[in-house]
């Protein structure tokens, strides 16, 4: 987890600039976050970006679901589902017909419960020869 922090588990500030990243607050504290994207990048924070993050074509490409994190004290309270539902509305409004994401293994049961299908499994290289196992997940609207 430490090797993934900052690189894979980091802020993609493009989502904030695009206004497609949401937070859930309680008494002034952020307890959950997650978003969607109409850009090509599938996962990772600013540290993983190499160049321009090009815009996708809603008629041809799947939108992205990005960077869902719920504070452990608030897990299984429906916050992830609520953010995902908010993203779905925005994605449909933007004209996309499908969604793709790359989930960590901890996120996989959550997306499966939300009717995402499992795609390819692969390992993201991290520092010191470590890797992070992830799984591609997809959904048609
Ligand atoms: C994955 C995560 C975002 C889910 O958020 P959440 O607010 O806890 O999810 P919800 O409460 O909306 O869960 C909805 C449903 O998903 C399924 N689900 C969620 N977490 C699950 C888990 N750990 N194991 C099995 N099923 C799970 C359940 O069916 C759940 O419904 P239920 O609680 O009524 O059984 C959150 O647990 C998290 O931040 N995990 C660590 C970071 C991470 O893995 N992020 C995903 C990166 S791609």
* The predicted structure's pLDDT at residue 28: 97
Ligand 1 centre distance from Cα of residue 75 (Å): 7
The pLDDT of residue 107:
96
pLDDT in tens, 89-130: 999 999 999 999 999 999 999 999 999 999 999 999 999 899
Residues with CB under 6 Å of ligand 1 are 68-70, 75-81, 103-104, 106-107, 109-110, 113
Secondary structure (DSSP) of the chain:
-TTTBTTTBS--HHHHHHT-EEEEEETTEEEEEEEEESBS--S--GGG--S--PBP-TTTS-EEEEEEEE-GGGTTSSHHHHHHHHHHHHHHHTT--EEEEEEETTTHHHHHHTTPEEEEEEEEE-GGG-EEEEEEEEEE-
Q: Is 1 within the bounds of a domain? A: no
Q: Give me ligand 1 centre to Cα 15, in Å.
A: 22
Structural domain boundaries, residue 65 = 13-140
Considering its fold, how many domains does the chain have in total?
1
Domain with 84 in it: what CATH number?
Answer: 3.40.630.30
Q: Is 106 part of any domain?
A: yes
pLDDT at site 129? 94
**pLDDT of amino acid 141:** 87
Q: Which atom of ligand 1 is nearest to the CA of 134?
A: 48
pLDDT, one tens digit for every residue, the chain (141 residues): 899 998 899 999 999 999 999 999 999 999 999 999 999 999 999 999 988 999 999 999 999 999 999 999 999 999 999 999 999 999 999 999 999 999 999 999 999 999 999 999 999 999 989 999 999 999 998
């Amino acid at each position: 987890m430490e090797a993934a922090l900052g690189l894979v588990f980091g802020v993609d500030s493009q989502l904030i600039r695009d206004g497609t990243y949401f937070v859930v607050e309680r008494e002034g504290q952020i307890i959950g976050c997650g978003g969607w994207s109409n850009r090509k990048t599938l996962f990772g924070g600013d540290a993983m970006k190499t160049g321009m993050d090009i815009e996708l074509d809603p008629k041809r490409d799947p939108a992205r679901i990005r960077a869902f994190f719920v504070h452990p004290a608030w897990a299984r309270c429906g916050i992830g589902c609520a953010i995902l539902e908010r993203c779905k509305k925005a994605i449909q409004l933007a004209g996309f017909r499908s969604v793709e994401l790359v989930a960590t293994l901890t996120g996989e049961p959550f997306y499966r419960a939300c009717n995402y299908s499992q795609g390819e499994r692969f390992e993201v290289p991290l520092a010191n020869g470590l890797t992070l196992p992830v799984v591609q997940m997809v959904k048609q609207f």
